[in-house]
Amino acid sequence: MRVAVFPGSFDPITLGHYDIVERAYPLFDKIIIAIGQNSQKKYMFSLEQRMHFIREVFKDFPNIEVDHFEGLTIDYCHSKNVNFILRGLRNPADFEFEKAIAQTNRELTKNNLIETIFLLTSAGKSFISSSIVREIISFGGNYEILVPPAVRVAPKTK
């Protein structure tokens, strides 16, 4: 069974994230959208709110699971017996950053290889990032055009 983990903070999930998952969906038997928790990071939306957003966005996708984890993504993948990590690339800077992580993961998992699969974000969504969305929300701007409907109607929570 081909199972991929799509890790991220998803604070909040954007149309860019949606684009990657929607296009990867036919490639895998199951996709686990896994929210990584970083105790050093301040989130705009609570873990529960982010999980709710994602579940709502993908409620019509039966082979998508939503989960959360702390620690290294590769450790999470091992715990779920998953051999693929799904990542989206928006620009060359994303590629360089993600390439370094993927190569490190390969070194750390030589005996139990976890392969990273990169998908390019569609051109019309390549400028969208969660940090940009959070900035727009914090200043009361029109963030609704950058996120799925489930995020558009949800109030910001802590």
What domains sit in the chain, N to C, each tagged with a CATH number?
A: 3-151 (3.40.50.620)
| Residue 62, pLDDT score | 97
Who contacts 97 (Cβ-Cβ below 8 Å, separation ≥6)?
none
Contact assessment for residue 19 and residue 88, using Cβ atoms and an 8 Å cutoff: yes
Residues serving a catalytic function are 17, 41, 90, 130
Position 157 confidence tier, pLDDT thresholds 50, 70, 90: very low
User: Torsion-angle region of residue 115: left (phi > 0), alpha (psi -120 to 50) or beta?
Assistant: beta
| Residue-averaged pLDDT of the chain | 91
Report the pLDDT averaged over residues 93-116. Answer: 85
Return binding residues for substrate: 9, 41, 73, 87
Who contacts 117 (Cβ-Cβ below 8 Å, separation ≥6)?
4, 24, 27, 84, 85, 86, 87
Amino acid identity of residue 70, one-letter, is: E
User: CA dist 92 to 97, 109, 120, 121, 158, Å?
Assistant: 9, 25, 10, 12, 33
List, in sequence order, every beta strand (DSSP E) within the chain: 3-8, 30-37, 64-70, 84-89, 115-120
Return binding residues for ATP: 9-10, 17, 88-90, 98, 125-131
Q: Among 41, 110, 48, 106, which Cα is nearest to 73's? A: 106
Residues 53 and 11: their CA atoms lie apart, in Å, by 10
- pLDDT tens digits, one per residue of 8-23: 999 999 999 999 999 9
Backbone dihedral angles phi then psi of residue 119, each to the nearest 5 degrees: -120, 135
Given a cut of 70, whether residue 5 has pLDDT beyond it is yes
